[in-house]
Structure 1
Amino acid sequence: MKLERLISIIYKLLNHEVLSASRLAEEFQVSPRTIYRDIDAICAAGFPVVSYQGTNGGYGIMDGYKMDKSLLGSYDVNSLITVLRSLSTVFEDKRAQGTIERLQTIGPEHQAASLSVDLETCRTEPDALPHLRTAIAERKVVRFDYIDVKNERTNRDMEPLSLHYKYRNWYIHGFCRTRRDYREFRLSRLTNLFVTQETFEPHDEMPEAAALSNKGWQDPMEDVVIRVDAEALAEAMDQFNQVNKQFHADGSMTMRIPVYRPLEARWLWTILLSFGSGAEVLEPPALRGILKEQLQHALKLYKDV
């Protein structure tokens, strides 16, 4: 613990002009006397620490002293800092923040960030991500309620193994004790998360998360063709960007969207219905019938309006 604290203090001094002993003591939850001893140890190790007196006094590193920047280029450092910042925000990870400070010491000075990453977390319970990450690190069983694609609600006990961010959503991958098999759950459909005190050991054979995601997707994709009016182009392109698009002289657009089992893909129906009169499904015909039925059900809710 002391060695880790010493290393952290060194990087903090490299990233700040002056830090007081009281500020360092408060951050590392030790006494100022311990910080004084740490500074002595850092000086003995050859780091040029300078003491500044006065109201705004404290400790700093001698001007002109820099760490070797040859190990990583500025592009590498900035990219790592960008990713770590987004992760430290999502998971409230102080260790990631410490890594950022260490990387900043070998990064280019006075260079504005050219890239920003905001990992969307509004689709999860507020504390779900940090709680799940802790459960993964400590190998603790988690319990939660889950609503599947068929809108059926079940209670699950799970041995969590890894978190994944894909398709603009967070997923948890692990061994589901309820189903006695590996599963992947979308966090937006997860409620009442509870981290138990029961620990677990990984099973002998663990499938890769990628293979788990593709399980049951051997059937070929089917094209869904929609015609989008000019006033709905931006919304449609936000939802279906990397698909075949054909623009027409009247300002409309035809999209050809490959979908796995579109007649069962409720997520697709929701998106298409959200376009209102701005988009029309051309193919497959059966999907047109499904959307018509969905609209008729919705109209019944407002029959008295």
Structure 2
Amino acid sequence: MKLERLISIIYKLLNHEVLSAAMLAEEFQVSQRTIYRDIDVICAAGFPVVSYQGMKGGYGMMDGYKMDKSLLGTYDVNALITVLRSLSTVFEDGRTQGTIERLQTIGPEHLTQSLSVDLDTLRTEPDALRHIRTAITGRIVIRFDYIDTMNERTARAIEPLRLHYKYRNWYIYGYCRTRQAYREFRLSRLMNLLLTGETFSPHPEVPEEATSSDKVWHDQLEDVVIRVGPEALAEALDQFQQMDKQFHEDGSMTMRIPVYQPLTARWLWAILLSFGSGAEVLEPLPLRAIIREQLQNALKPYEEV
């Protein structure tokens, strides 16, 4: 613990002009006398710590002293700091902030913010990400209620292994005790999260998420062809930018989207319906019928208006 504190103090002094003993003592939850002893140890180790007197006095590193920057290039440091800042904000992780401070000591004198990363957390319960990360680190079983793709609500107990951020959503992957298998859950559908306090040991074999079943999945893809009007181009590109597309003289666009079992892909129906009259399904024909039925059902609550 003392060694970790000493290293943290060194990096803080490298990143700030002056830090008072009181500030350091409060941050590390030790007495000022302990900080004085730590500073003596740091000086004895060869670091040029300077003491400043007065009301705004404290400790700092000698002007011009910097750590070796040969480990990482400027581009690497900037990218790492940007990503870590996003993670630090999401998880409110003090350790991540400490890593940022260490990286800043080998970064450029004046860091130019050329990259920004926003890890959206609006689709999750408040504090869910931090609690789940705590459970993963401590190997703690978690319980929650879950709404699956068929809109069925079930109570789940899982042994969490890792968090994913993909497709603009957060996911938790782990061993589901309810289903006796490894599963992935979208955090936006998760409610009433509880850390049980029960710890678990990892199973002997953790299956890879990408297995031979991926080939079967890809073999069952079917093309969905839609025609998008000029008024819905931006929305369609937001959803299917990488899909095959063809623009027409009237300003419209045709998109070809490979989808696994589109006749049961409710997520696809929701996206297509969100385009309103701005998009029309051309193929497959059964999907046209499904979208028509969905539109008719959506109108039923408003028949009396």
3-state DSSP class of the match of 1:259? strand
Structure 1 match to 2:277: 277
Q: 1:28 is matched with which residue?
A: 28
CA deviation vs aligned residue, 1:241-261 (integer Å, no higher than 9, x gap): 110110110111111111111
- Structure 2 partner of 1:111: 111
In 2, distance between residues paired with 1:78 and 1:257?
Answer: 36
Distance across 1 between alignment mates of 2:53 and 2:72: 36
Task: Name the TM-score, length of structure 1 as normaliser.
Answer: 0.97
Point out the more displaced range, 219-228 or 91-100.
Answer: 219-228
Alpha-carbon deviation of 1:230? 0.6
Taking every aligned residue pair, what percent have the same amino acid on both sides? 78
CA deviation after TM superposition for structure 1 residue 175, in Å: 0.6
Deviations 1:169-219 (A, max 9, x none): 111111100111111111111111000110000011101234499497254
2:126 corresponds to:
126
**Cα offsets for 1:119-153 (capped at 9, x unmatched):** 11111111111111110110000000011100011
Structure 1 residues 3-48: Cα deviation after superposition (integer angstroms, max 9, x where no partner): 1111000000000000111111111111111111111111111100
How far apart are the structure 2 equivalents of 1:248 and 1:183? 43
Q: Which amino acid aligns with 1:65?
A: Y
Scaled by the length of structure 2, what TM-score is found?
0.97
Please say if 1:220 is aligned against 2:220. yes
Instruction: Report the CA distance between 1:55 and its aligned residue.
Output: 1.1
Relative to structure 1, the CA distance from residue 36 to residue 214 in structure 2 (aligned partners, 3 Å threshold; closer, same or farther) is farther
Counterparts of 1:204 and 1:159 in 2: how far apart (Å)? 13
Whole-Å Cα distance in 2 between the matches of residues 156 and 113 of structure 1? 42
Q: Which residue is 1:202 aligned to? A: 202
What is the distance in 1 between the residues matched to 2:218 and 2:152? 24
> Equivalent residue for 1:263?
263
Structure 2 letter corresponding to 1:95: R
Tell me what 1:230 maps to. Answer: 230
Change (3 A) 1:138 1:213: farther
Counterpart secondary structure, 1:296: helix
- Once the two structures are superposed, the pairs formed by residues 149-298 of structure 1 within 5 Å of their partners are 149-211=149-211, 214=214, 217-298=217-298
The residue type equivalent to 1:26 in the other structure is E
Query: What amino acid is aligned across from residue 285 of structure 1 in structure 2?
Result: L
- What CA distance in whole angstroms lies between the structure 2 residues aligned with 1:210 and 1:104? 37
Letter in 2 for 1:132: I
CA contact (8 A) 1:20 1:58 kept: yes
Name stretches of at least 5 consecutive residues in structure 2 with no aligned partner: none
Task: Map residues 39-58 of structure 1 onto 2, 5 A cutoff.
Answer: 39-58=39-58
Give distance in 1, aligned partners of 2:292 and 2:83. Answer: 44
Contact 1:229–1:253 (CA under 8 A) maintained in structure 2: yes
Do 1:13 and 1:60's aligned partners in 2 also have CA atoms closer than 8 Å?
Answer: yes
SS of 1:82's equivalent? helix
Amino acid at match of 1:102: R
Tell me the amino acid that sits aligned with residue 71 of structure 2: L
CA distance in 2: counterparts of 1:210 and 1:168, whole angstroms: 20
- Deviations for 1:44-73, whole angstroms, at most 9, x for unmatched residues? 111000000111111000001110001111
CA distance in 2, matches of 1:59, 1:82: 28
Judging changes above 3 Å, is the alpha-carbon distance between structure 1 residues 186 and 202 closer, same or farther for their aligned structure 2 residues?
Answer: same
**Partner amino acid, structure 1, of 2:136:** I
Give SS of 1:193's match. strand
Whole-angstrom distance in 2 between the partners of 1:215 and 1:134: 35
One-letter amino acid of the structure 1 residue matched with residue 203 of structure 2: H
Q: 1:211 to 1:145 in 2, by over 3 A?
A: farther
Q: Secondary structure at the match of 2:131?
A: helix
Aligned to 1:4: 4
The secondary structure found in structure 1 opposite 2:227 is strand
Distance across 1 between alignment mates of 2:9 and 2:78: 22
Give the alignment's Cα RMSD to 1 decimal: 1.4
Q: Which moved more, 1:218-227 or 1:40-49?
A: 218-227
Checking the alignment, whether the CA contact within 8 Å between 1:184 and 1:212 is kept in structure 2 is no
- C-alpha contact (below 8 Å) 1:182/1:212 kept by paired residues: no
Q: How many residues align?
A: 305
